[in-house]
Each structure stands twice: as C-alpha cells, then as structure tokens.
Amino acid sequence: MGKRYLSPINTKSMVQIVIDRISGAIIDGELRPGDKIPTEPELSAMFNVGRNTVREAIRILVAYGVLEIRRAEGTFVCDGFSPQIINPAIYQIILQKENSYDELIDLRKIIENGVMQLLMEKKVSQETWDKIGRKCDLLVRELEKETPDIARVADADIDFHEEIAKATNNSLVLVVHDVIVQLTRESRYHTIERVIAKGDKQYLIYTHKNLVEKLQGEDINALYAAINDSYFYWKDIYR
C-alpha cells in the first residue's frame, strides 16, 4: 500500500507499538475518519507481528473509541470524536490522584480558567446569559433553604458550571468539563458539606454570583480572582 505506518516492526512484537502506529497514522492523516483499515492478517504481515498482537491492539483502540468494527464490513476509523478517548486519561488520574492532589487542583484551575476566558471572549447572547443566571438562581435557592440538601446543592453547582461550558458552543470543552466533573464530584460534595456545616452558605452564594458578574465583564484578572476565590474551601479538601 506504500503507507509508512504499515512498514514492518523490527523491534519486539508489542501491542503498544501497533497502537502507536495506527494512532500515529490517524494523527498524521494517513488514515482519516471513516477509512477502513487493513484486515487482521494483513496488518500482522505488514507489521511483522503476531495476529494476537494485532487483535489486542485493535480491541484496545475500539475500547478507546478510535476504531469501530462493523460486522461483515471490517474495522474502520471512527467518524467522530468519542468521549471514550478521554477515559484512559481519567483512569490514570484516578489511580494516581492519591499522590497528585496539587496537580488535580492545578488541572481544574487551568481548565476552568480557559473555559471562562473563552466564554468572556465570545459574543454571548442575552438568552445564554439568562440560562446561566437561572442555573445560578437555582443553586442559590437550594442554599437558602433552612436545611439545604447537600446532594441537591452539589448537583445544582455542577449544572451551573456545565451551563457555562455549554455556552462556549465547543463540544470538546464539554467533554473536558465532564472529565473534571468526574474527577472532582466527590470532593465538591464534601466541600459543600463542610461549608454548610460551618454556617458559611453566603460564601457559596457570593462566589457563584461573583463568577457570573465577572464573566459578563471585561477584566480577565478579576475573573481569575473570582475563580480562585471559589476554590477557597475546595482545595483544602485535598490537604
């Protein structure tokens, strides 16, 4: 076929090498979304590896959402982005986060700073701001109850941040936002639990209203400060 990614593998027969060759071909454009890849026997011969190695590599790439198997047709490069691609990274972070608290805090800051900066730079309709405002109001109403339900408050908090991510109109932003939610859901719950136990509900009310206000402004440093203020209790959960 004359494709560079199909040249024989001269080193040890390793599943990861096959994965890297196929994924590299996709990145380089040798394989494009919707393309059919060679059959298992063909890949085995081209890479000079065993069929079991090729079969395992394909199985992993299918699980990642990079390839898809169509019965009676063959194996194809997926046409669109799949959130499954992010899952291995999630699992890796989950497995190591016992020793990576500061890194997780930094990761959330980087992602949320970027999401909110992107939203600040976009021309956002009043309808979109109204949606974000309504999510904030729902959160505030949950917090203002005499005995707030921590789970409902946590869900309202996540819904608020998700609405902000949606407002970017960027599907990849939504996927990454979902990753952050998965990694921080439990810690957000415990943060809200701690804040309410301390009788500091006004902190949560203020920080969320302040985020909405700063998002609609033009001072990026004020926005970053508002985001950082909203982490005051949350980041200590990891200490």
Tokens 């985020």 correspond to 211
Determine the structural domain holding residue 60 and report its residue range.
Answer: 4-80
Q: How do residues 5-41 score in pLDDT, each as one tens digit?
A: 666 655 445 788 899 999 889 888 899 999 999 999 9
Residues 55 and 99 in one domain: no
Q: Quick one: how far is CA 144 from the chain centroid?
A: 31
Residues 76 and 149 in one domain: no
Does pTM top 0.75 for this prediction?
no
| Model pLDDT, residue 89 | 60
Reference 214, options 203, 227, 201; nearest CA is: 227
Kindly tell me if the per-residue pLDDT of 76 is higher than 90. Answer: yes
Tokens 């390839």 correspond to 67
Residues 35 and 145 in one domain: no
Residues 105 and 221 in one domain: yes
Tokens 């990145």 correspond to 27
Residues 56 and 98 in one domain: no
Kindly tell me if the per-residue pLDDT of 174 is higher than 70. Answer: yes
Q: Quick one: how far is CA 209 from the chain centroid?
A: 25
25 to each of 14, 20, 39, how far by Cα in Å?
A: 17, 8, 16
The tally of domains found in the chain comes to 2
Residues 33 and 142 in one domain: no
| Model pLDDT, residue 87 | 60
Q: Check residues 167 and 175 and name the one with the higher pLDDT.
A: 167
Instruction: Specify the CATH number for the domain of residue 99.
Output: 1.20.120.530
Residues 150 and 229 in one domain: yes
Instruction: Specify the CATH number for the domain of residue 75.
Output: 1.10.10.10
What does the alpha-carbon distance between residue 153 and residue 138 come to, in Å, rounded to a whole number? Answer: 9
